[in-house]
A and B are shown apart, each in its own frame.
Chain A
């Protein structure tokens, strides 16, 4: 009797052996089969990227404003997280990733806008898969990207925007700007920039140039803060800023390595190049400041790190370690010049350097992605028949389309919101401080 059971048990086990062998090989993504290693990593990445916005970015920005406005920044980041989460579930995900009507090489409306096939997350159930992970995980992971992109913009108009206007602007921007650009770059065959062959692994165009350009447009439309640049507007708590920058760095592993949508060698390299580029950029900014001003600052090294994180983002799937050093150095120096020198010279009040770090860093990274993807730079290799020069042109096309689409749409949305409810608080409200005026709260009760 026991012998029979043993034999039948072994027979059953024999059927399972091939399956177990397959499951033990994390890099083997079987079409239509869930891989638990990939899924576990993507679940983790999603949490890491949400962590980037709250509390990472929230504190990074909050520390840089004056104490009377500290809560307004935290509120904006938190509220955007909530608003975009819901809008993404309702329409955003569909507008970004629904592939109905898309065909490789065919340019139609669906090359720019996803349709409503996945609206209200229709069809996204417990069993639907994207690659080897549940679609729910993919959707939520992408949601965290949709969240952080508008949250980045708040730095440009900090200390002077109405909260109600912010909600309207960000809601509209998420659906009309973020989702379409994500669609054009990431939705697959038939997507405008996907078909061109634009390389943007984790969002140099979709997230950073997008946010940076919107930030520039917004700070120009809203105008400078009262008293800028004569009045002192020093960061009130750089402890927060450094803490926030560190959280961004750690979370960014989810942002870049998670964009592999798998736990594999690509993810591993993405993590490695992220670390290397960020560190290089932080040092680069620090040394620039040391040479330029005479002393290295903690705000400088933290800003440099963020610039590096931004620039490596589009390249994280294709660049190698030495390419990462090049990208980090270029971003550290380039963003330093943009944020410290160019802004002062041109006089616009991009309060927390959203344009200087994200648009410029994102553009530097997006273009250098073309160079560093080539095997000669240690990259993953360019597509068949594509030269470095050809890829650089493609990258530039992607950057330009993003800048134009985002710039024009952001301007329109801002103007509409301004006409209906007004974007800016009054001068007295601005002087008193947004925390008290907009939220009836104080960040510090001493």
Chain B
């Protein structure tokens, strides 16, 4: 099993959610985060005091999937979250050791 973590632009969340639904994923965790990569921040000005804001709002998406789904999910997320402009984000894939469904106690692929 794998944990796929994607950092995307916030306004792309709905598109990615829809794409994942079509790919057969029906559960995910979403967090609001801040970050930067190559996308520069912007300047804000308050009564003459200029502030360079490096950290931009992003959304972090986490989905636990079966090993054979990895390529399909990476493709789905990439297509849906892509705008072609700097700051589109990244996808990370982690090895997932164990998954448990709390209500029923199912484990492994049955819990995905």
Is the beta-carbon distance between A340 and B44 smaller than 8 angstroms?
no
B45 at the interface (CB under 8 A from A): yes
Report the bound CA distance from A332 to B82 in whole Å.
46
Is the beta-carbon distance between A234 and B48 smaller than 8 angstroms?
no
Is the beta-carbon distance between A234 and B44 smaller than 8 angstroms?
yes
B36 at the interface (CB under 8 A from A): no
Is the beta-carbon distance between A339 and B46 smaller than 8 angstroms?
no
B49 at the interface (CB under 8 A from A): yes
A229 at the interface (CB under 8 A from B): yes
Nearest B residue (CB) for A241: B46
Number of A-B residue pairs, CB cutoff 8 Å, is: 25
Is the beta-carbon distance between B45 and A344 smaller than 8 angstroms?
no
Among B44, B45, B48, B53, the residue within 8 A (CB) of A339 is: B48
Nearest Cβ on chain A to B11's Cβ, whole angstroms: 22
Q: Mark A267-303, 1 if CB is under 8 A from B, else 0.
A: 0000000000000000000000000010101011001
Among A229, A232, A295, A353, the residue within 8 A (CB) of B47 is: A353
| A229 cross-chain contacts in B, Cβ below 8 A | 49
Report the bound CA distance from A295 to B46 in whole Å.
11
Is the beta-carbon distance between B47 and A234 smaller than 8 angstroms?
no
Report the bound CA distance from A146 to B104 in whole Å.
68
Is the beta-carbon distance between B49 and A339 smaller than 8 angstroms?
no
| B53 cross-chain contacts in A, Cβ below 8 A | 232
Nearest Cβ on chain B to A307's Cβ, whole angstroms: 11
Report the bound CA distance from A331 to B45 in whole Å.
21
A235 at the interface (CB under 8 A from B): yes
Nearest A residue (CB) for B53: A232
Report the bound CA distance from A353 to B48 in whole Å.
11
A226 at the interface (CB under 8 A from B): no
A442 at the interface (CB under 8 A from B): no
Is the beta-carbon distance between A343 and B46 smaller than 8 angstroms?
no
On B, residues with C-beta under 8 Å from A are 44-49, 51, 53
Give 4 closest A-B pairs by Cβ, nearest first.
Answer: A340-B48, A232-B51, A344-B48, A293-B45
Could you list 17 examples of A-B contacts with CB < 8 Å? A229-B49, A232-B51, A232-B53, A233-B49, A234-B44, A234-B51, A235-B46, A295-B45, A297-B45, A297-B46, A299-B46, A299-B47, A303-B47, A339-B48, A340-B47, A343-B48, A344-B49
